[in-house]
Amino acid sequence: MTLRLDLLRNSLAETFGSARVGTNEPLAKHCNWRVGGPADLFVSVKNAHELIQTVRLAHKHGIPPTILGFGANVLVSDAGIRGLVILNRAQRISFQPNYLVEADSGTNLAVLAKQAAQLGVGGLEFLIGIPGTVGAAVAVNAGTRTRWISGLLESVRVLQNDGEVEWLSPKELSFSYRTSRLKQTGEVVIAAKLRGNPDEPANIERKMKKELQVRKNQPTGPSAGSVFKNPPNDFAGRLIEACGLKGFRIGGAQISEMHANFILNVGGAKAQDIKAIIGHAKSEVSKRLDITLEEEIRYLGQW
């Protein structure tokens, strides 16, 4: 592993310059929870071409890459991530005829929603309140209680495990609640085409303000948003609250007093603290209510 990492580091330095290739990069500063250990190798890519180049180089050297957007929906272990971590900052947005929008996978969802609003492209308003990037949103089928990004998709540009790039239809990606085939296959989202609809910018702005108003009732502070998926016909937060777990704390991590499906880093939390709270909440809900909660967040690194 060490030899392969050295060879990959040299290849990345030749491609992007040694200044852009980091070692033992602390990942806590790249994740919303503000926890997580170091990455063996770390590089930030600026566009889709660099993203494809970097993933192909990693595969060539036998090092599976881990791709981070804004770290909004992940829990990185205190031991960090072995191998290469790619910070995806491919953020090109192209507005095309008939309200079609193509966005690179590193595009911030809020930026995408705001630009669409300015150009009178409706239908993307709900993205304003979802933290993270287009690529992560596609992979997990992010959305609200009533709308999901899969409902906007025309096609998704994917780097497959054999190194080939292909545009895939939503049907080929097996979307369902908070998941897609991309969560299992390791394929990398490069870009997505989303279909909007005509609307007046002022009307779109009003809709976005309503979306943000709902989010104002959510806790502030370092968190990953909703930790658990909602079970059918119920809410994970209600179930956790019913078990008396609001305010439950381990180390620097605490279940929010405002919304029980949020776990906050209230100061000095470790990833293990957060994981322990997740395990406790799952155990209590299972034991008391006979319901199995499933995480919405992803675990990354060595556990």
The answer to the question of residue 221 being in a domain is no
Residues 199, 108 within the same domain:
yes
pLDDT bin (cut points 50, 70, 90) of residue 214 is: confident
Q: What is the mean pLDDT of residues 144-155?
A: 92
pLDDT at 15: 96
- The answer on pLDDT for 62 being more than 90 is yes
Residues 105, 74 within the same domain:
no
Last residue of a domain, one of 88, 122, 142: 88
pLDDT bin (cut points 50, 70, 90) of residue 215 is: confident
Q: Of the residues 178, 187, 223, 256, which is catalytic?
A: 178
Residues 82, 97 within the same domain:
no
| pTM for this predicted structure | 0.93
- The answer on pLDDT for 134 being more than 90 is yes
pLDDT at 216: 75
Please tell me which residue, 18 or 214, carries the higher pLDDT value: 18
What's the mean pLDDT when you consider all of the chain? Answer: 95
173-184 pLDDT tens trace: 999 988 899 988
Residues 19, 104 within the same domain:
no
CATH of the domain at 74: 3.30.43.10
The answer to the question of residue 22 being in a domain is yes
Q: What is the 3-state secondary structure (H, E, C) of the chain?
A: CHHHHHHHHHHHHHHHCHHHEEEEEECHHHCCCCCCCEEEEEEEECCHHHHHHHHHHHHHCCCCEEEECCCCCEEECCCCEEEEEEEECCCCEEEEHHHEEEEECCCEHHHHHHHHHHCCEECCHHHHHCCCEHHHHHHHCCECCCCEHHHCEEEEEEECCCCCEEEECHHHHCCECCECCHHHHCCEEEEEEEECEECCHHHHHHHHHHHHHHHCCCCCCCCCCCCECCCCCCCHHHHHHHCCCCCCEECCEEECCCCCCCEEECCCCCHHHHHHHHHHHHHHHHHHHCCCCCECCEEECCC
Residues 206, 122 within the same domain:
yes
Residues 98, 210 within the same domain:
yes
Residues 75, 117 within the same domain:
no
Please name the residue that has the structure tokens 């998709």. Answer: 153
Q: What is the mean pLDDT of residues 141-155?
A: 92
- The answer on pLDDT for 1 being more than 80 is no
Active site residue 226: yes
The answer to the question of residue 231 being in a domain is no
pLDDT bin (cut points 50, 70, 90) of residue 145 is: confident
Q: What is the mean pLDDT of residues 174-203?
A: 94
Residues 143, 56 within the same domain:
no
Number of folded domains in the chain? Answer: 3
Last residue of a domain, one of 55, 71, 88: 88
The answer to the question of residue 164 being in a domain is yes
pLDDT at 27: 98
The answer to the question of residue 220 being in a domain is no
pLDDT at 144: 85
Q: Of the residues 102, 226, 284, 295, which is catalytic?
A: 226
Active site residue 178: yes
Residues 76, 31 within the same domain:
yes
pLDDT at 295: 96
Percent of the chain whose predicted confidence (pLDDT) is above 70: 100
Q: What is the mean pLDDT of residues 3-31?
A: 95
pLDDT at 229: 94
The answer to the question of residue 223 being in a domain is no
- The answer on pLDDT for 246 being more than 80 is yes
Domain holding 277, by residue range, is 236-300
Last residue of a domain, one of 73, 88, 103: 88
Active site residue 296: yes
253-294 pLDDT tens trace: 999 999 999 999 999 999 999 999 999 999 999 999 999 999
